[in-house]
Amino acid sequence: MKNILRLGAATLTIVSSLSLWGASPTTVSLDSCRHLALANNKTIMIAREGINTAEFNKKAAKAAYLPGIDFSGGYMYNQNIISLLGENAKLPTMSFDAASGSYKPNILVGPDGIPVKDPATGSYIPTEVAVIPKEAMEYDVHNVFAGAFTLTQPIFMGGRIKALNDIAAHAESAARSGHEKVVQDVTYKVDEAYWLVVSLKAKEKLADSFVALMDSLKLNVDHLLENGMATRSDVLNVEVKLNEAQIARTKVSNGLSLSRMALAQTCGLPIDTQMTLEDEDLKSCNADTYSLPQDFNMADIYARRQDLEVIRQSINMLKGTEKLAMADMLPTIAAVGMYSFSNPNVKNGFEKKFGGGFSVGAMLTVPLWHWGGNYNKYRAAKSATNAQRLLLEDAEEMVNLQVNQAKFKYSEAFKTLDMTRTNMKKADENLRQAQLAFREGVLTADDVIAAQTAWLQAHSELIDAEIGIRLCDVYLSKVTGNL
């Protein structure tokens, strides 16, 4: 189901992007802007790469269960040859004595029949020796080549491999939750930028209307000046207000252009992308389509909030770190197999050719005494886990506060909307009465300007209130984890 949704979103993104980059502006909806942002926003792309990294780390951790095969090789040049003898070796010999049936050493015997000793060494003097030439025990090791294939299979690592796999799995979950949080943040940012454009577009139209009102008032005052019913001061005052209205309209237009650029950037598009928003011709906000939930299940909200899920997965990862620290205090067992070879080799004498053989065995490592270093590492890991638990509790309290603030702000937005609607009706009527009284000569131009200014402010506040309802609804969805 998720793949189908992603495929649909990707298709919509491609079509929308091609339309937006076309020659003429295209009308886009809020959902289209969201899909564009989900597909093109750089922050979301970074979060996706974080998921890929976590997945690769998870696969790498699983590989630790399997045997590892390594090859090592080397070459060494030696200046000297190896000689096992410093000079020719002379070994005493023995002869077989048939009478005794045993071997007797061939040593020099004196006239008295007593073996003769060497005065210098105190050893018996042999009559016959076997000579081993010095050259026979010399070996050429100028060039030595060696290599080995090693297979290592972990048998018991103190729980280290399982802990690493658990950490990798929780890291992947944290990366996915972090991605979802980024998606929510970007979505909220898109909504803010989208409704800001709508708001400024409405205010631009309002500024045009206000300029038109000031133009009409200036024509009326000019006509009264020609008939002697107004002063030059009245004309100047109206012209000043007209210039201020035109400057205000220019500022709103510039702000609208910049807000369009900001929306395009958030959607991952070039900032000069031309697009018209579906809600730009916003007339009024139908408050009946929005409703404020009365009750909130905070446990469900905590479960939906992706930022809290990231912290929960961080706690699980720190628990895995505790197990790693514990593993440093436990023995480890591994089976090892090796095929080694060298040139020269001593497999069959000393030969200047490659030769080698297999060997198998096991390795046992038992930590005995490290002056409390490993145990303190374990205690430090537990302390970090406790700190993360406290961080989760603090974050949940902040979420609770955010939800209540959003609720109060949403409720206040409804009240503000009702009041601004009432104020707008009063401002419209006040402006109508002022214009009528001005034409009848009862009020001055300053009175009409004041009424028009009040009318402008009332309509501007109504626009802010209408947009505020939408933003409050989006923010409430965000803080409750429903966005």
How far the first Cα of the chain sits from its last, in Å, is: 19
**Cα–Cα distance for residue pair 141/84, rounded to 1 Å:** 13
- DSSP-derived letter for residue 136 is G
Tell me what the pLDDT averaged over the chain comes to.
Answer: 85
Q: Domain locations in the chain?
A: 2-40+157-330+368-479, 82-139
Residue 15, pLDDT > 70, answer: no
> Within 10 Å of residue 221's Cβ, how many Cβ atoms?
23
Residue type, 362: A
Per-residue exposure over 83-116, b if at least 16 CB sit within 10 Å of its own CB, e if not: eeeeeeeeeeeeeeeeeeeeeeeebeeeeeeeee
Average pLDDT over residues 171-186: 92
- From CA 334, how far away is CA 157, in angstroms rounded? 8
- The pLDDT assigned to 133 comes to 86
Between 5-19, 95-109, 261-275, 414-428, the lowest mean confidence (pLDDT) is in 5-19
Element (H, E) at 164: helix 160-226
Tell me what pLDDT residue 17 has.
Answer: 47
Task: Work out the percent of the chain whose per-residue pLDDT is above 90.
Answer: 38
Average pLDDT over residues 415-420: 90
| pLDDT tens-place string over residues 312-333 | 999 999 999 999 999 989 999 9
Least confident stretch, 91-105, 174-188, 453-467: 91-105
Task: Sort strands 26-28 and 275-277 into parallel, antiparallel or unpaired.
Answer: parallel
Q: What percent of the chain has pLDDT over 70?
A: 92
Q: Which residues of 249-283 are buried (b: 16+ CB within 10 A; e: fewer)?
A: beebbebbeebbbbbbbbbbbeeebebebbbeebe
Cβ neighbours of residue 368 under 8 Å, at least 6 residues apart? none
pLDDT over 60 at 63, yes or no:
yes
CATH of range 2-40+157-330+368-479; options 1.10.10.10, 2.60.120.380, 1.20.1600.10, 3.30.160.100 = 1.20.1600.10
What is the predicted pLDDT for the residue at 284? 53
